[in-house]
Amino acid sequence: MNKNYIILMGILILLAAGLLVLPLKNNSKQLDPEKLMWDIVQPTRYVSTDEVAKMIIERDPLLVLVDVRPTEDFQAFSLPTAFSFPVDSLATDDAIPALTFDKRNLVLYSNDDLKSDQAWIIAKRLGLKNIYVLKGGLNRWIQTIIQPEAPAESASEAEFNLYAFRQGASQYFTGGSISIEQGPQAEVNVSRKKKAKAAEGGC
């Protein structure tokens, strides 16, 4: 009997020692590469310029815009409410705290989707959640929101509605004047009035 005890105790101590060593192996909260790959191949991280424009105009409290371009570019031009977080800053220790917003949606943007996508992959690996990428980046922002192209005459009503929204948004973001021959102008004005009301109500 005594011998059995000693053998069993030996096994227990060995296993306990093994357990002590184990946690060192996966010591970080980083996302498993397999899961990361799965996220990478999904297009769900992309949000369109129209969606973001709408959120900015509506002052959506859940939207956090992150500019991943170099600081100089951010200073020259940035989207309203965005803050600057160059890709290189992801290498610092306080990257995660700086990008952690409880339940709010982080939308990364750069000139197009390359840098923002790269930043997204690294941020995702670091374990951040609710992060998205502005599809097409600032280049598409200019093409669709600031300088929207009129749809062809045969285009669907949805396309015309989208165009009307974009014209209104363009005016909102540039403060310029719109002068088009017919209909759309009225719609643009309507959306502006709505904005004003929303602002008043908010404050």
Partner 1 sequence: MHVHELNPKKTMVTMIIFVVVIIIGLVTLSKPRLNYAITPEETVMLVGSEEGFVYPYELEDILNKTIDTIVLVDIRNTFQFGRGHIPGAENISSVELISKENIKRLEDLKNAGQVVLLYANNLVEANGPYMLLRQIGFDNVKVLMGGYSYYKIWKDKLADSYSDDSYFMGTADYDFAEVAKSNSVATNGNSNSETKAAIVVDRKKKGKAAEGGC
Q: Which is nearer to partner 1, 36 or 130 (CB)?
A: 36
The C-alpha R_g of the chain, in whole angstroms, comes to 25
Q: Give the span between the Cα atoms of 159 and 148, in whole angstroms.
A: 11
Provide the binding-site residues for partner 1, judged by CB under 8 A.
1, 4-5, 8-9, 11-12, 15-16, 18-19, 22, 26, 30, 32-34, 36-37, 40-41, 73, 76-77, 87-88, 90-91, 110-115, 117-119, 121-122, 125-126, 138-139, 142, 146-148, 167, 170-171, 173-180, 196, 199-200, 202-203
Count the Cβ atoms, other than its own, within 10 Å of residue 200: 8
Q: Give the span between the Cα atoms of 191 and 170, in whole angstroms.
A: 12
Least spacing, CB of residue 104 vs partner 1, in Å = 21
Q: Give the span between the Cα atoms of 59 and 130, in whole angstroms.
A: 18
| 8 A C-beta contact, residue 144 and residue 84 | no
Least spacing, CB of residue 105 vs partner 1, in Å = 20
Q: Which is nearer to partner 1, 50 or 113 (CB)?
A: 113
Least spacing, CB of residue 38 vs partner 1, in Å = 8
Q: Which is nearer to partner 1, 6 or 103 (CB)?
A: 6
Token readout for 193 is 């009035």
Least spacing, CB of residue 195 vs partner 1, in Å = 10
Q: Give the span between the Cα atoms of 111 and 70, in whole angstroms.
A: 10
Q: Which is nearer to partner 1, 34 or 103 (CB)?
A: 34
| 8 A C-beta contact, residue 129 and residue 105 | no
| 8 A C-beta contact, residue 164 and residue 155 | no
Q: Which is nearer to partner 1, 11 or 155 (CB)?
A: 11
168 Cβ neighbours under 8 A, 6+ residues apart: 187, 188, 191, 192
Least spacing, CB of residue 162 vs partner 1, in Å = 14
Q: Which is nearer to partner 1, 160 or 173 (CB)?
A: 173
Least spacing, CB of residue 192 vs partner 1, in Å = 10
